[in-house]
């Protein structure tokens, strides 16, 4: 049994690293994570230190991407922005996955009325127009990192909840669970021992695939001025400043947009390859 699992894992890893895109995605994600962790050592300047005399300068050797309206080094702010992106992405995925897991499993395994109630809740959350919901929440509690995380969690719960529910339903009716049941196993045991591990794969893949959406959403909210508080740099707020200064300097837009695109691409490549690697059917096909 253990042998078999090891083989499976080896197969997944082997397949993963055969795929160029997967490797590229992996490298991009690593780069992003490392720059977020070691941002303090990478940045040439304090990303929030003002230097009004040197504001709105073009790229030079001292300022690789120039300076913003307050004379802050754009490159340093860009590097620091990766930290905000991760600070939002990780807790959000964790929060949304855990809540989605619980709701989805209850829906899939619980009584019919509870299932219906949860479906209603998930579908309601899903049909909230995201921007309006975000506007209302931000107006209610004010913009901050926590607010952004909350908004994105609420809007992404339905995605996970639905996947978990469908998976639970299909596993629940599979023969080995029916056999377990007839042997008198408790619901909790079935959930923890059989269903949880089986749903884990698809959810892990889904999480990797959702991260780019989440990072994009955070940037979108910050772009609308509903994200992190100033002077904290985020890619979205760089884009926001870049939009208002679009005729003065393109560098703010470049510093906010390019890493955002690269990161979302990286996570998407990673997620896709991971999905193909985990799914034996797809592994064979490609």
Residue numbers at the binding site for another protein (CB under 8 A)? 21, 48-50, 52, 55, 69-71, 119-120, 123-124, 126-133, 135-140, 142-143, 169, 212, 216, 219-220, 223-225, 229-231, 239, 241-248, 250, 253, 257, 260-261, 264-265, 267-269, 272
Q: Interior CA angle at 89 toward 88 and 91, to 5°?
A: 75
DSSP letter at 191 equals I
Nearer to another protein, 28 or 36 (CB): 28
Tokens for 17, please give them: 């690293």
Q: Which of 241, 230, 235 is closest to 255 using CA atoms?
A: 235
CB 102, min distance to another protein, A: 20
- Other CB atoms within 10 Å distance of the CB of residue 59: 15
Nearer to another protein, 203 or 211 (CB): 211
Nearer to another protein, 96 or 214 (CB): 214
CB 208, min distance to another protein, A: 12
DSSP letter at 73 equals B
Nearer to another protein, 8 or 123 (CB): 123
DSSP lists the bridge partners of residue 67 as 73
Nearer to another protein, 136 or 193 (CB): 136
Q: Which of 96, 85, 65 is closest to 159 using CA atoms?
A: 96
> Would you tell me the crossing angle of helices 74-109 and 112-127 to the nearest 10 degrees?
150
CB 5, min distance to another protein, A: 30
Nearer to another protein, 33 or 224 (CB): 224
CB 154, min distance to another protein, A: 11
Radius of gyration of the chain (CA): 22
Nearer to another protein, 185 or 209 (CB): 209
CB 242, min distance to another protein, A: 7
Q: Interior CA angle at 144 toward 139 and 147, to 5°?
A: 65
Give the containing element (helix H, strand E) for 208.
helix 196-223
CB 183, min distance to another protein, A: 25
Nearer to another protein, 6 or 124 (CB): 124
CB 145, min distance to another protein, A: 13
* Helix segments in 38-73, DSSP class H: 39-42
Q: Are 50 and 70 in contact (CB under 8 A)?
A: yes
159 Cβ contact partners less than 8 Å away, ≥ 6 residues apart: 96, 100, 126, 206, 210
CB 56, min distance to another protein, A: 9
Q: What does the alpha-carbon distance between residue 270 and residue 21 come to, in Å, rounded to a whole number? A: 8
């Amino acid at each position: 049994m253990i042998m078999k699992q090891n083989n499976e894992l080896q197969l997944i890893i082997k397949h993963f690293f055969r795929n160029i895109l997967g490797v590229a995605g992996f490298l991009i994600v690593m780069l992003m994570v490392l720059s977020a962790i070691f941002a303090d050592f990478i940045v040439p300047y304090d990303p929030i230190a003002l230097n009004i005399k040197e504001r709105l300068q073009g790229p030079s050797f001292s300022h690789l991407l120039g300076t913003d309206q307050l004379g802050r080094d754009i490159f340093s702010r860009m590097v620091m922005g990766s930290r905000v992106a991760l600070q939002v992405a990780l807790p959000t995925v964790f929060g949304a996955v855990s809540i989605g897991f619980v709701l989805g499993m209850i829906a899939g395994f619980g009584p019919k009325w509870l299932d219906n109630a949860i479906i209603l809740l998930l579908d309601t959350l899903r049909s909230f127009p995201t921007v309006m919901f975000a506007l209302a929440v931000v107006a209610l509690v004010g913009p901050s990192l926590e607010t952004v995380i909350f908004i994105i969690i609420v809007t992404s719960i339905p995605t996970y909840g639905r996947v978990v529910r469908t998976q639970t339903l299909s596993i629940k009716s599979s023969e080995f669970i029916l056999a377990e049941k007839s042997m008198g196993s408790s619901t909790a045991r079935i959930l923890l021992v059989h269903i949880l591990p089986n749903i884990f794969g698809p959810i892990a893949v889904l999480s990797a695939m959702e991260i780019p959406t989440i990072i994009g959403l955070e940037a979108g909210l910050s772009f609308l001025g509903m994200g992190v508080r100033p002077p904290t740099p985020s890619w979205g707020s760089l884009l926001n400043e870049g939009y208002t200064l679009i005729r003065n300097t393109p560098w703010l837009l470049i510093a906010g947009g390019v890493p955002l695109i690269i990161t979302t691409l990286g996570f998407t490549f990673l997620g896709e390859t991971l999905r193909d690697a985990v799914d034996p059917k797809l592994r064979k096909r490609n």
